[in-house]
Amino acid sequence: MKVLVTGSAGFIGMHTAKRLLAGGHEVVGVDSLNPYYDVALKRARLQQLAHPRFRQVELDLVDSAAARDLFERERFARVVHLAAQPGVRHSLVDPHAYTSNNVTAFLNVLEGCRHSAISHLVYASSSSVYGANSTLPFAEDQRADHPVSLYAATKRANELMAHSYSHLFRMPATGLRFFTVYGPWGRPDMSPVAFARAILAGDPIKVFNHGRMQRDFTYVDDIVEGVVRTLAIPPQPDPESGAPHAIYNIGNHQAIGLEEYIDTLASALGRPAVKDYVPMQPGDVVATYADTSRLHALTGFMPSTPLADGIAHFVAWYKSYYAPR
């Protein structure tokens, strides 16, 4: 099939496009290459996608006319929408970037899918939509109306927008709630890269909530496996709403303590971690933990990469990419 992957120069986008190419698909990647973080890293990711069946388009999906022209010109079969303004904490600093890149851009993607009769849209949501929920593990049928950051609110808005388009236009769409993704080619503002840099330099790491935090750390290859498997299965009409729309968690279905995570990374790097215990940050949550039974029932797949294995792969990439610089 001819598949659009938005955010193709991003962390998950690059890995997803690479996997789709390996599966024999034609892939068109779209990315604005904005300077939220190092553009050189984004370009290096795109070099990993050199393939006869891959084309890259530099385009800002906030531009409705450009997005419309893209869909009219290319006539995609399916769409994987991963482009977004990431970062919970940055949403406290630059909120307008989140409404434009996560809401307006997504509306333009929905419009493109609607008018092009896309057979299935898969889009990235986030575990952050569970917000202030304290019942673990998080399951898709729990309420998601207590966001504690604007980033989370925009991702929940995506889910509601997609559902409305599915209902109105019978457009099959699947939202995937990703849980704390890590692995090779990760963003420099994410904890693995930031922590690895600090550990190797002997600098202290800020350990929020005095270490009393847990995350469902999910290796990027497991995320991609979930994306590709769900892409192949357009949702049936929901029994309650009638909309061909579904939502699935993709997580490693276990909550790992922040200190265990830091110690695993330090061990793989062969250096001790210097920890600076600090209070919780605004917009953050104490714990995430995914119930993935719904994903397993649909696809037969459940993420399972052990943290130590995933961290080892990350460290090998980190040393190969950053050490020569």
Q: Is the pLDDT of residue 88 over 80?
A: yes
Alpha-carbon span 163 to 324, nearest angstrom? 47
At residue 239, the 3 state secondary structure works out as coil
pLDDT on residue 181: 98
Kindly list the distances between the CA atom of residue 131 and the CA atoms of 63, 135, 138, 149, in Å, as whole numbers in the listed order: 30, 11, 10, 8
Residues 63 and 145 in one domain: yes
Q: 263 lies in a domain? A: yes
Q: Is the pLDDT of residue 325 over 60?
A: no
DSSP codes of every residue in 191-233: HHHHHHHHHHHTPEEEEGGGG--EE--EEHHHHHHHHHHHHTS
Residues 44 and 103 in one domain: yes
Catalytic residue among 151, 182, 219, 248: 151
Lowest mean pLDDT segment, chosen from 13-22, 58-67, 84-93, 185-194: 84-93
At residue 94, the 3 state secondary structure works out as coil
Contact 270/259 with Cβ under 8 angstroms? no
Model confidence over 36-71: pLDDT tens digits? 999 999 999 999 999 999 999 999 999 999 999 999
CATH number, residue 260: 3.90.25.10
Q: 299 lies in a domain? A: no
Run of H or E residues at 27: strand 26-31
Q: 80 lies in a domain? A: yes
Q: What is the mean pLDDT of residues 154-164?
A: 98
Domain of residue 200 covers 191-215+253-289+305-322
User: Structurally, how many domains does the chain consist of?
Assistant: 2
Non-local (6+) Cβ contacts of 204 within 8 A are 198, 274, 275, 276
Lowest mean pLDDT segment, chosen from 86-95, 184-193, 214-223, 260-269: 86-95
Q: Which residues sit opposite 276 in a β-bridge?
A: 206
Q: 298 lies in a domain? A: no
Q: 186 lies in a domain? A: no
289 is known as an active-site residue:
no
For residue 200 the two structure tokens come to: 């190797």
pLDDT on residue 253: 95
Q: What is the mean pLDDT of residues 105-134?
A: 96
Residues 109 and 170 in one domain: yes
Residues 160 and 30 in one domain: yes
Greatest alpha-carbon span in the chain: 56
DSSP 91: G
Is residue 132 very low, low, confident or very high in pLDDT (cuts 50, 70, 90)? confident
Residues 9 and 133 in one domain: yes
Residues 240 and 198 in one domain: no
Q: What's the one-letter identity of residue 171?
A: M
Contact 29/3 with Cβ under 8 angstroms? no
CATH number, residue 14: 3.40.50.720
For residue 318 the two structure tokens come to: 């980190």
Run of H or E residues at 1: none
105-116 vs 150-169: helix axis angle to the nearest 10? 20
pTM for this predicted structure: 0.96
Please report, rounded to a whole number, the percentage of residues in the chain having pLDDT higher than 70: 99
For residue 273 the two structure tokens come to: 């971690």
Lowest mean pLDDT segment, chosen from 80-89, 267-276, 299-308: 80-89
Residues 154 and 231 in one domain: yes
Residues 211 and 156 in one domain: no
pLDDT on residue 324: 61
Alpha-carbon span 17 to 28, nearest angstrom? 8
Residues 108 and 10 in one domain: yes
Residues 96 and 203 in one domain: no
Q: 294 lies in a domain? A: no
